[in-house]
Amino acid sequence: MYQKPKGTRDLLGRELQRLEALNAAARAFFGQNGYEEIRTPTFEFAALFDRSIGETTDIVEHEIYKFEVNKKLYALRPEGTASVLRAFIENKLRLPVRFLYLWSMYRRERPQKGRYREFLQIGIELLGESKPFYDADIIERGKQYLQSVGARDFTIELNSIGCPECREAYRRTLEDYLQPNLSRLCDDCRRRFERNFLRIFDCKKESCQRLYDDAPKITDKLCGECAQHYVDVKKYLRYFGVDYVENKKMVRGLDYYTRTVFEFKHGELGAQDTIIAGGRYDLLMRELGGPDTPCIGWALGPERLLLTMPEELPSVKARRAFFLIGVGERYLPTMISLRTQIHNNGHRCFLGDPGEPIKHQMKKADRFKADHVVICGEDEEKEGIYTVKEMSTGRQSKIPVAEFESFLIHA
């Protein structure tokens, strides 16, 4: 017996349908907003992620699947932004541009509820816009998308982590504060403080967090331009009608962010409570060898989102399942055009084999969990009707061929 690797999942039946419904809703919604779908390779040269995400981040240090072939080092993508920018630069695309991606990502994390080693992300990236208006815009679009699929009870947390200048000045302030307390930090935080100091705020240990509660925060030490940007983002969020809370300890797990960072959290998820995470990354394009280009984006974990949602997604119109029964092969052409008509109305439809006895076809209709069985035979042909049996009640009705379309629309 073979088993799937730890942290991976087989997506089947209802869950896969629900995920696909979120994908379809994202394609429709972000399509309307000018986001173009993009697909890039599942693996890239490992250096792309090391460079963009940052050598001393958790992702690059522990979580990337790397493999070497012919002395070249590759990596399965752990996130989307680096690949999107690489593709933008390599294909010499024009600005401004908006991208949507719906991809699997790979990270060697400890599997838990809502945390897998292969997982999906729905992400958007807006390249070439620097104004705070756009920070607010993509946050509001995230909120609107979540509402459109029926998600409820999420909180938007906001912070600004400034630019490299703010950060350098802030590092000294933080150092002064932490110096007398260094012995109370955990080993990880001491290491983080040396190599990637903002990351200490990500620590899960309560003893460290207590210390950070009272520490000076980068948001209070921003340079003039970054401070103004942050003020304006909040102003536009209010214009857009987006409620948010400021979280001065939120720094995000990737190195490339500048200024605005945000997360959408859901109270019922426990430790893995972030559904959407993102921010501005004005320096990354340059870092990857492209033109100086301000960018902003976010990624949503649809598998986590589904954990917060009722079994039926309100946004998805319940589609009916039809099973067509033919009384003899000469009814096959009628059945085939009927199937097309049913499909065109967004329902599922499955053909019985009209050469088989009706009883056999009925059994298959049961196994297919049909809501309606439609019978095509001599009587129907003569009278110009279809006999439709509603499986839940056993009720049969005769629907004139000319009225069948209207029946399908309301089914």
Which of the ranges 32-40, 114-122, 283-291, 320-328 carries the binding residues for ligand ATP, by CB under 6 A?
A: 114-122
Q: How many Å apart are CA 316 and CA 275, to the nearest integer?
A: 20
Q: Which residues contact 372 (CB under 8 A, 6 or more apart)?
A: 320, 321, 322, 323, 388, 389, 390, 391, 411
Q: Which residues contact 223 (CB under 8 A, 6 or more apart)?
A: 162, 163, 165, 166, 169
Site for ligand ATP in 72-111 (CB under 6 A): 79, 107, 109
Contact between 381 and ligand ATP by CB under 6 A: the answer reads: no
Which of the ranges 205-213, 295-303, 378-386, 390-398 carries the binding residues for ligand ATP, by CB under 6 A?
A: 295-303
Which of the ranges 235-243, 301-309, 322-330, 354-362 carries the binding residues for ligand ATP, by CB under 6 A?
A: 301-309
Cβ closer to ligand ATP: 119 or 281?
119
Contact between 260 and ligand ATP by CB under 6 A: the answer reads: no
Is 185 in contact with 193 (CB distance < 8 Å)?
Answer: yes
Contact between 249 and ligand ATP by CB under 6 A: the answer reads: no
Cβ closer to ligand ATP: 203 or 338?
203
Cβ closer to ligand ATP: 79 or 282?
79
Residues found in the chain: 411
- Closest separation between CB of residue 313 and ligand ATP, Å? 17
Counting Cα atoms < 13 Å in the Cβ hemisphere of 217 gives 17
- Closest separation between CB of residue 254 and ligand ATP, Å? 7
Contact between 138 and ligand ATP by CB under 6 A: the answer reads: no
- Closest separation between CB of residue 109 and ligand ATP, Å? 5
Burial (CB count <10 Å: 0-12, 13-18, 19+), residue 268: exposed
Contact between 299 and ligand ATP by CB under 6 A: the answer reads: yes
Q: Closest-CB residue for ligand ATP?
A: 301
Q: Output the CA–CA distances (angstroms, integers) from residue 149 to 115, 172, 241, 278, in the order listed.
A: 22, 45, 19, 20
Cβ closer to ligand ATP: 169 or 307?
307
Is 57 in contact with 196 (CB distance < 8 Å)?
Answer: yes
Chosen residue from 88, 116, 145, 262 binding ligand ATP by CB under 6 A: 116
Q: Which residues contact 395 (CB under 8 A, 6 or more apart)?
A: 389
Which two structure tokens, joined as six digits, stand for 198? Answer: 């903002």
Cβ closer to ligand ATP: 107 or 192?
107
Selection from 85, 82, 259 nearest residue 165 by Cα: 259
Binding site for ligand ATP (CB under 6 A): 79, 107, 109, 114-116, 119, 121, 253, 272, 274-277, 299, 301, 303-304
